[in-house]
């Protein structure tokens, strides 16, 4: 098929069918006091299902990635998770979500949603780079932004999310110089430190993700994630 594989919808149908029960298990595991949690499932399910890509268009992009982060944010806002869970939610849960999405992208050929091509940061992710850059600030292994050109550093992708993102790009676009496939990331590698990269990623997220109408027009608001009047 030229575009996304329609078998993706079969996979999504299974996710949809299991979503209510799965969210209930996540929300009440170790939290028996959340007796009314079921009332939140319709809202939470909207964010979770939108995390995996568009059922209609068979595409995936930064808006879908944002929905998974909002799903975690809502769970925190409800008190399911607390501040002591933040590092684990990003370094373990969000990381596993990103790895899952790479498998889905390559299995069902999801089209990039709202991609800027080579002149964008990445075809699919942004938060993974933002969190990954923050994770590398003051890293004890001596990695610098230029380390993305070092295969030994990329091999440390299980410990550093940013390297995992770059390694995936180099894998799916093998045979083409990185400077040609990802000129923006290539330019960013020339930054003096990870603090500058992290700050730049945050500004770019505000401008290019939550600052763009084509992304936020699909975002749902309700009693958990409220829309300010």
**What are the residue boundaries of the structural domains of the chain, listed by start?**
1-113, 117-212
Please write the tens of the pLDDT for every residue from 44-96. 999 999 999 999 999 999 999 999 999 999 999 998 999 999 999 999 999 99
Please write the tens of the pLDDT for every residue from 128-175. 999 999 999 999 999 999 999 999 999 999 999 999 999 999 999 888
Burial class of residue 76 in the structure, from the number of CB atoms within 10 Å of its CB (0-12 exposed, 13-18 middle, 19+ buried) = middle
Predicted local distance difference test score (pLDDT) of residue 16: 98
Q: What is the pTM of this model?
A: 0.93
How far is residue 112 from each of residues 117, 123, 190, 209, measured CA to CA in Å? 9, 5, 26, 14
Please write the tens of the pLDDT for every residue from 168-203. 999 998 889 999 989 999 999 999 999 999 999 999
- What is the CATH superfamily name and number for domain 117-212? Phosphotyrosyl phosphate activator, C-terminal lid domain (1.20.120.1150)
Closest CA to 51 of 107, 125, 108, 115: 125
């Amino acid at each position: 098929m030229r575009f996304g594989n329609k078998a993706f919808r079969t996979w999504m149908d299974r996710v949809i069918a299991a979503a209510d029960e799965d969210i209930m298990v996540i929300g009440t595991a170790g939290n028996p006091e959340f007796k009314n949690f079921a009332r939140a499932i319709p809202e939470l399910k909207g964010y979770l299902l939108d995390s995996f890509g568009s059922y209609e268009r068979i595409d995936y992009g930064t808006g879908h990635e944002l929905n998974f982060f909002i799903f975690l944010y809502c769970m925190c806002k409800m008190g399911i998770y607390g501040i002591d869970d933040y590092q684990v939610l990003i370094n373990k849960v969000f990381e596993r979500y990103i790895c899952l999405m790479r498998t889905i992208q390559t299995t069902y050929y999801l089209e990039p949603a709202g991609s800027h091509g080579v002149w964008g940061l990445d075809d699919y992710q942004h938060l993974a780079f933002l969190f990954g850059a923050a994770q590398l600030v003051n890293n004890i292994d001596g990695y610098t932004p230029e380390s993305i050109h070092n295969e030994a550093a990329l091999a440390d992708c299980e410990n550093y999310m940013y390297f995992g993102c770059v390694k995936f790009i180099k894998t799916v676009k093998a045979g083409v110089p990185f400077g040609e496939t990802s000129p923006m990331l290539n330019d960013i590698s020339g930054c003096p430190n990870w603090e500058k990269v992290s700050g730049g990623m945050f500004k770019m997220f505000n401008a290019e993700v939550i600052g763009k109408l084509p992304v936020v027009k699909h975002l749902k608001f309700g009693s958990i994630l409220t829309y300010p009047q």
